[in-house]
Amino acid sequence: MAHTFEELVEMQRAADAAHAQVEKLRDEYGPPTTTPWTEHQTSTYETAWRAWRDLARDAQAAVTDYAKTEGRPRNEAEAEVKGAARHPET
């Protein structure tokens, strides 16, 4: 499926937001080896981690397709998408 640059930016923002949620939970819960997590905490963290993984995977695949379609190096397309997603004012 072909994606526009703007769609790629939104996909990256969603992946970044999911990653931020994973980091927030890690900070909130602490290392599971130090303080054992409850079943609820474990389930919540694993759900958030899977969401991040899936969103990041989909964004990466879409960037790969976009770069191929545009005839551009993938790493350049990825850097441009991440830059636009994380610094929209530039």
Question: What is the model's pLDDT at position 90?
Answer: 58
pLDDT > 90 fraction of the chain, expressed in percent and rounded? 88
- What's the rounded Cα separation, in Å, for the pair 8 and 4? 6
Average model confidence (pLDDT) across the chain: 94
In angstroms, the CA 11 to CA 7 distance is 6
pLDDT band at 83 (very low <50, low <70, confident <90, very high): very high
pLDDT the model gives residue 17: 98
Q: What is the pTM of this model?
A: 0.90
**Residue 75 clears pLDDT 70, i.e. is over it:** yes
